[in-house]
Structure 1
Amino acid sequence: MNPIFELIMLNKEFKSYIGTITCDWLGDARPAIVVTYPREGMAKVRIRFTLKEDVRQDDWRVEIRPAISPTYHWSPHLTPTSEHVVDQHSFRAPALIVHDGERMLSVVPDLDLLEAGSADTSFENRTPRWYMDMDAFNNSLILGMCGTSVREHVLFVREPGAIFPRGEIEFGFYLFASEEQAGIANPWRDLLAFFWERWGRPLLLQGQPNDGELEPYVRWAYQWAFREWGSAVWQDFELGGTRVGAPVFIVNVTQSPNYPGAVNERETRSIWNQAWFSSLRSAQGLFRYGRANGNSEYVDKANQMKELALAAPQTNGFFPSVIATEMEQVDIEGEIRNLSKGWSTLYWGNSDRNPFGLSIREAPIHVLDMSWTALLMLRWHEELERDERLVDYARAYADSLLELQDEQGFFPGWIDRESFRPCGVLDQSPETSLSVTFLLKLYELTGDRKYEDSAYLAMKAVCDEIVPEGRWEDFETYWSCSRWGQEEWKGRKIARNNMYKQCNFSMFWTAEALLACYRSSGREEYLQVGQRCLDEMLMTQATWQPNYIYVPALGGFGVMNADGEWNDARQSLFAELIVSYGMELGVEEYKERGLAAMRASFTMMYCPENEKVKARWEKAWPFLNERDYGFMMENYGHGGRTNAADDPMGEFTIFDWGNGAAAEGYLRMLDRFGKKFVTGEAE
């Protein structure tokens, strides 16, 4: 790093918050620094360099040394060592936040300057990219530019030899200082309002992430699943004398009717009712669509999906989440292909996304998956058609679930599939929150207070032990694709950041459960804490459209502070909850964010409505044509890198965590909030 630096001076309002701010030179170029004060408690810093020639410099930075001794730290991405950075790829709602319980300081990069100055990618890892870093050990907040690369899945590290091109280079950031206790209790609220007012709302009003009706996307999703790709997607068979069926867990491009080669199934042919991949959730969208459009075939298929969920065998109330087939390796013209042996070889099991590395057949039972499926059963009974079998099934599960609750109120993560004893991993986690929502719904339908009592005890445990610390550890945090830290950091904060590895899925379950508690009890404190959890989740929502993210991104969600996704499929699940908080609190921002999330749920679909994205799909897979309309990858930029010319667009679709899930989210919102609101016609 160049040893020459400048001090950035602020007015006396910031004196009790900031000790020093230093700004590096770029080569021999001295920075021109302008500081303005748009409003009380806010400073805007703009830094300009004029380079007469290219400058090779490993790092350029602004370092902020707070005058406070923070007890709380927040960053959008983890930087476990001084080698790591929060690369601009993670800038969805970028901020660094610290407070000591009395004074709070936040730093936000100037996204207008970032977008205006985003550099050519010809230097690859030597291209200067904006970054942030938070060093809790040394009480240092850093913003800067350097070359970066991706390590682990997905963390970012510095690369030496960044080349800053000659000409004008601008960098900037905002500082926010506050002693307001309400703001410290919810440190994201004011920043979220700032992001949305400054960048999000104007883009939404301009028609981003997409405009027009969403119904054509739903039509494409169902035509794709049940017509053009029907032979690959739709699975049906006899089970216990009943015809059951559902879309298969996953398909890939080799199963396209246009693919020129042999099929190669990506994973075990199976059907899931799990926290991500829920055929019972998708079935509700298909049922709503079929009923609204007089399509008896779709209603019949939805009912087959319901029957499959009810067919999962219960033992002591507990039940499996996956039904699968045996697979085999087949040599086809010299190439080994993975193929199913068919549903005559079916067996029941559980998600292989588990801490024990066990297969579907061997995996323990995930309590979260059962509570989600049971909740969906109750919603079907209440919202679509009365079917007492659904309530009976859910109640049998709930009675056994209560026996698993510990003294504090937590429900365990996994239980042994034979003894039904907790497996000892995530036995006290925010996954408990989903069981709260389920139990309160069961209490509402049955009037049995034991379910209500259990739910409130569980909610207290999460509010006491999880929420204040941000311990958002769930199955996805460590046992999905981003497995970094599962040994050394599970249950512990990453020391350099004073933060846990976090996943926004458990933020969602907790915000949803707290809203259910508020509606059931009328107690305002549930709503306040729920809003806090919701806002923490919304810090993972894209509030702008970077010019280096080459698909429409506004309203889409990331996943966690150690992964790279944009526009993840969870946004179709989150959208309704965000709008619900908007309705409950009378906050327009939430309503708009929820609608943006719903719209973002369709931006990755291959179809004529998404013209630019369609072109990217066809570049990646030239054989795609109108028979593939509706194909949709679950996210974008997953690996932490994007490319203007050649994006990796993905090669699979998960109906229950992609196009089918998006359709269900939209159709559910139509029924709950009305077409006028959901289509953007509301005043």
Structure 2
Amino acid sequence: MKNSKLLVLSVCSIFLFSCSMENKDSKKLFNQFIKEIEIGQLGSAHVKHNIKKISEGLFKVNVGVELSEDIEQKGWAVKVHPNFKGTFHWAPHLTPTEQHIISDHVFRAPALIHSSSEKLITIIPDLNVRAESDYRWYMDLDAEQNCLIIGISDYFVDDHVLFKKSDLTTFREGKMELSFYIMLDKDKDAVENPWRRPLAFMWKKYGEILADKGEPLNAPIKPYIDHTYNWAFNTWKDAVWQEFKLNGKKVGAPAFIVNITQSPNYPDLVDEREMRSIWNQGWFNSLRSAQGLFRYGRKIQNEDLIEKAKMTKELALSFPQNEGFFPAVIATEMEQVEIAGRKYNRSKGWDTYYFGNSNRNPYSDELKDSPLHILDMSCTSTFMLSWYEELERDERLLHYAINYADNLLKLQDTQGFFPGWLDNKTLKPLPILAKSPETAKSITFLLKLFNLTGENRYKNAALNAMKALNDKIIPEGRWEDFETYWSCSRWGSKEYVGKKIKRNNMFKQNSLSIYWTAEALLSCYEITKEEKYLLLGQRTLDELLMNQAVWQPPYMYVNVFGGFGVMNADGEWNDSRQALFSELIIKYGKILNNEEYIQRGIASLKASFSMMYCAENLKAKKQWEAVYPYFDEKDYGFMMENYGHGGYANKVGGGIGSFTIYDWGNGAASEAYNRIVDHDGEEFFNVK
């Protein structure tokens, strides 16, 4: 059956369904924000609709229909038309054309935001109604046409990862309901931080209930930590732990990545997924994970584990510096080995080692040829300082970091930015992302170094860099970093770097650079005690939290509540970055005396373990065994970095991956737990 005409309802006609005289003020407020609402027709069925005032500036819209027969058409939607032009917009996913949609696959904390300097409209799907629906919901943001959309449609994945409406969706005979909230704000604080009110609303309505139950884990965290280290240094030791000599010193660290073919239970031959290597960069950092191992070994009095952690420290100090700058990766040569007519990827061993840099960059796919990355060096140097400050007063760590910092300062431009990449031979800055939020990590590093040395030049450079981010990055949400364009989601890397997607009035955005900026702003506040940094830090943190799952969708088959997504053009749930984020969220909660943040931080850390293959995670265990039936107790601790990466998940293991990155998975999550326990005590996780 063909689409019928859209039913256009004026604001006044909508309110005829709430005839009480006390609604006059509500009608007046609504008219100040909303021009009209369009409700799509489903065949010839009568569409019922109702708007109810929940509280001041908060309304709930219900649209329902009862079909007497099955209907096929290209989706069904409700369109909200504001009566003012928006200058700022936000949505959880990009929809560069009218065929694209924001599938409910990425409904973590779903909202559409449309604001000017004086008014703010927020649309939030009713997740309780969605949880009971058999249909796939979607949203869309058309900034060019001044339109906010929520609807129902089947979808398919386009590129990596955007979503498009299917040509036809079957609407089955019977009742169907679509429900959402509309928030209207004129308050200056709400306009300046458009995420705070919807975040608080969604957490109170959905997240707090789950957090109070201890979700997303059904067991204490400690057993997951034990599984991690038993997996890495016992049952999977032959594949994970890498130990060799470098410049006469014994060094070691877990391998960058291992896959299911390296399981002691795998019935076939090993086929390594990528080059055998060890990374110290913005994602995968062996020095960060080693601090967690050190803390764990110290607590259980295991000298062997402490020694392994120290070997990783020695490895980091062995990365050669050139005018203070240093590589991020050490790797072995690889080869293709043919056995019984099949080729397998194998390492030639650590005798063939070489240094290089992350190949997630716009210049080269080869580690050897990739440029030096300022972000990676600032991350590793920050971890050197935290090791020096909290674990061992090894002066070599401080001297290494100072050597880097003194050369880093020479690269700061007149606006305050640090460049993205340096040519690995000439050490000259390269042009791409020369003015980006990656600068934030260098701010945190320099302020930490100022704390340890008292040298004002580090503080002054950091505060100057923060001014650049405040002026050029934060106001328009330009969250572009290396992962935004040069990881697995490369959509837009040719045409959109530094440019907004016009239809959405948004940049392609990545959550890592939002995190680094919120972290840097908190560091600025702790150094200066100036309130402006704390307020802007909270705003930035709230933008980050729009990537955190506030509910447990019925169409996700592992526990995802509390976990984080990656960016507005990818499909992950429960991404490992959530372990990195957790303590920062908790810190903001303590400083702001906000229990919501503390609950969110704890849920974020717990979600870091909910993908682990082990007896404690019954739902995840079932999914793993559906794909890899040979897994058993020897594989406890194996953990994919995220879930549903490709834009889909199903009951039989769809969305489950095939590898573990220790430094961006179980090892990183365990480090975060061990660090927070050292700072706050183990009982912190048991207090509501």
SS at match of 1:20: strand
Structure 2 counterparts to residues 346-425 of structure 1, below 5 A: 346-425=353-432
Does residue 602 (structure 1) correspond to residue 609 (structure 2)? The answer is yes
1:587-611 CA distances to partner (integer Å, 9 max, x unpaired)?
A: 0000000000010000000000001
Percent same amino acid among aligned pairs? 54
Shift of 1:369: 0.2
- Kindly report which structure 2 residues correspond to 1:358-507, keeping only aligned pairs within 5 A, or say none: 358-507=365-514
Question: Alpha-carbon deviation of 1:457?
Answer: 0.4
Code of the aligned partner of 2:679: R
**Which of 671, 674, 680 matches 2:686?**
680
| Counterpart check, 1:5 vs 2:12 | no
Q: Secondary structure of the equivalent of 2:325? A: coil
Give the whole-Å Cα distance in 2 for the aligned partners of 1:434 and 1:680. Answer: 32
Work out which of the residue numbers 189, 213, 230 in structure 1 matches 2:220: 213
Tell me the residue number matched to 1:243. 250
Q: Matched residues in 2 for 1:265 and 1:532: separation?
A: 43
Deviations 1:149-185 (A, max 9, x none): 0011100011111001111101111000010000111
User: What residue identity is the alignment partner of 2:673?
Assistant: Y
In the alignment, is the contact (CA less than 8 A) between 2:627 and 2:652 conserved in 1? no
**Residues 127-146 of structure 1 mapped to structure 2, 5 A cutoff:** 129-146=136-153
Tell me if the contact between 1:355 and 1:479 (Cα under 8 Å) persists in the aligned partners. yes
For 1:124, the equivalent position in structure 2 comes to: none
Moved more, 189-198 or 24-33: 24-33
Residues of 1 paired with 2:407 and 2:608: CA distance? 36
**What is the match of residue 522 of structure 1?**
529
Q: Distance in 2 between matches of 1:451 and 1:603?
A: 40
In structure 1, C-alpha distance between the alignment counterparts of 2:74 and 2:191, rounded to whole Å: 36
Q: 1:648 to 1:137 in 2, by over 3 A?
A: closer
Q: What is the 5 A alignment of 1:81-160?
A: 81-119=97-135, 129-160=136-167
- What's 2:546 paired with? 539
Structure 1 range deviating more: 50-59 or 629-638: 50-59
> Aligned partner of 2:657: which letter?
G
Aligned partners of 2:85 and 2:116 also within 8 Å: yes
| 3-state SS of 1:177 partner | strand
Q: What is residue 43 of structure 2 aligned with on the other side?
A: 27
1:507 and 1:536 in contact (8 A); partners too:
yes
Q: Secondary structure at the match of 2:570?
A: coil
Q: Would you say 1:200 and 2:207 are equivalent positions?
A: yes
**1:664 equivalent among 667, 671, 675:** 671
Instruction: Check the 8 A contact 1:620/1:648 in 2, yes or no.
Output: no
Question: 1:356-379: per-residue Cα shift (whole Å, max 9, x none)?
Answer: 133111111000000000000000
Closer, same or farther in 2 for the Cα pair 1:316/1:297, shift >3 Å? same
In the TM superposition, 1:650-661 aligns within 5 A as 650-661=657-668
Query: What SS class does the counterpart of residue 32 from structure 1 fall into?
Result: strand
The one-letter code sitting in structure 2 at the alignment partner of 1:425 is: I
2:19 matched to which residue of 1? none
> Deviations along 1:271-293, whole A, 9 cap, x unmatched?
00011000000000000000000
Q: Is the 8 A contact 2:562 2:603 kept in 1?
A: yes
What is the rounded CA distance, in whole Å, between the counterparts of 1:648 and 1:455 in structure 2? 41
Q: Is the 8 A contact 2:256 2:277 kept in 1?
A: yes
Residue in structure 1 matching 2:582, options 562, 571, 575: 575
More off after superposition, 188-197 vs 6-15 = 6-15
User: How far apart are residue 238 of structure 1 and its match?
Assistant: 0.6
How far apart in 1 are the matches of 2:91 and 2:130?
18
Query: In structure 2, how many angstroms separate the alpha carbons of the residues matched to 1:6 and 1:427?
Result: 48
1:619 and 2:626 aligned: yes
1:617 is displaced (CA, Å) by 0.5
**Could you tell me which amino acid in structure 1 is paired with residue 235 of structure 2?**
E
Q: Which amino acid aligns with 1:84?
A: H
3-state DSSP class of the match of 1:317?
A: coil
The aligned counterpart of 1:123 is none
Unaligned runs of 5+ in 1: 120-128
Runs (4+) of structure 1 exceeding 2 A deviation are none
Does the 8 Å CA contact 1:118/1:547 hold for their aligned counterparts?
no
The answer for the alignment partner of 1:233 in structure 2 is: 240
The AA in structure 1 aligned to 2:4 is N
Residue in 1 aligned with 2:20? Answer: none
Q: Is the 8 A contact 1:265 1:338 kept in 2?
A: yes
Amino acid at match of 2:451: E
Instruction: Give per-residue Cα distances to partners, 1:449-480, cap 9 Å, x unaligned.
Output: 11011000001001110000100000000000
Contact 2:218 2:617 in 1 (8 A): no
Q: Distance in 2 between matches of 1:4 and 1:445?
A: 65
Looking at structure 2, the residues matched to 554 and 467 of structure 1 have their Cα atoms a distance apart, in angstroms, of: 27
CA separation in 2, counterparts of 1:383 and 1:212? Answer: 29
SS at match of 1:468: helix
In structure 2, distance between residues paired with 1:16 and 1:629: 57
Contact 1:6 1:25 in 2 (8 A): no
1:225 is matched by which residue type in structure 2?
A
Q: CA deviation at 1:212?
A: 2.9
The equivalent of 2:22 in structure 1 is none
Write the distance in 2 (CA, Å) between the matches of 1:447 and 1:648. Answer: 49
On the 8 A contact 1:606/1:631 being kept in 2, the answer is yes
Match of 1:56 in 2: 72
Q: Output one character per residue of 1:276-312: Cα deviation in whole Å (capped at 9) or x when no partner.
A: 0000000000000000000001100000000000000
Q: Which residue of 1 aligns with 2:342?
A: 335
C-alpha distance in 1, partners of 2:215/2:4? 41
What TM-score do you get using the length of structure 1 for normalisation? 0.98
After TM superposition, give the deviation of residue 22 of structure 1 in Å: 1.2
> Which aligned pairs between 1:195-344 and structure 2 lie closer than 5 A?
195-344=202-351
User: What SS class does the counterpart of residue 634 from structure 1 fall into?
Assistant: coil
Q: Number of aligned pairs? A: 672
TM-score of the pair, normalised by structure 2: 0.97
Q: Please give the secondary structure, in 2, of the residue aligned with 1:258.
A: coil
Contact 2:6 2:38 in 1 (8 A): no
User: 1:546-588 deviations in whole A, cap 9, x for unaligned?
Assistant: 0011111111000000000000000000000000000010000
Query: Does the CA-based 8 Å contact 1:95-1:108 persist in structure 2?
Result: yes
Q: What is the distance in 2 between the residues matched to 1:2 and 1:226? A: 64
Q: Does the Cα contact within 8 Å between 2:623 and 2:651 map onto a contact in 1?
A: no
CA–CA distance in structure 2, aligned partners of residues 405 and 468 of structure 1: 21
Q: Which moved more, 1:367-376 or 1:416-425?
A: 416-425
1: CA distance, partners of 2:652 / 2:290: 38
**2:24 matched residue in structure 1:** none
Cα distance in 2 for residues equivalent to 1:391 and 1:638: 39
Partner of 1:126: none
Tell me the distance in 2 between the aligned counterparts of 1:115 and 1:68.
33
1:122 match: none
Report deviation, 1:2.
2.7
**Could you tell me whether the CA contact under 8 Å between 2:218 and 2:616 is conserved in 1?**
no
Paired with 2:557 and 2:62, the residues of 1 have a C-alpha distance of 27
| Matching residue within 188, 196, 208 for 1:189 | 196
SS at match of 1:134: strand
Distance apart, 1:4 and its partner CA: 4.0
> Equivalent residue of 1:117, what SS?
coil
2:227–2:637 CA contact under 8 A, matched in 1 = yes
Shift in Å at residue 6 of structure 1? 4.8
Partner deviation per Cα, 1:459-514 (whole Å, 9 max, x = no partner): 10011100001000000000000000001100000011000000010000000000
The CA deviation at 1:680 is 2.3
The answer to whether structure 1 residue 161 and structure 2 residue 168 are counterparts is: yes
| Aligned-residue offset at 1:649 | 1.1
Cα distance in structure 2, aligned partners of 1:448 and 1:24: 64
Tell whether the 8 Å contact from 2:645 to 2:655 is kept in structure 1 after alignment. Answer: no
**AA in 1 matched with 2:641:** E
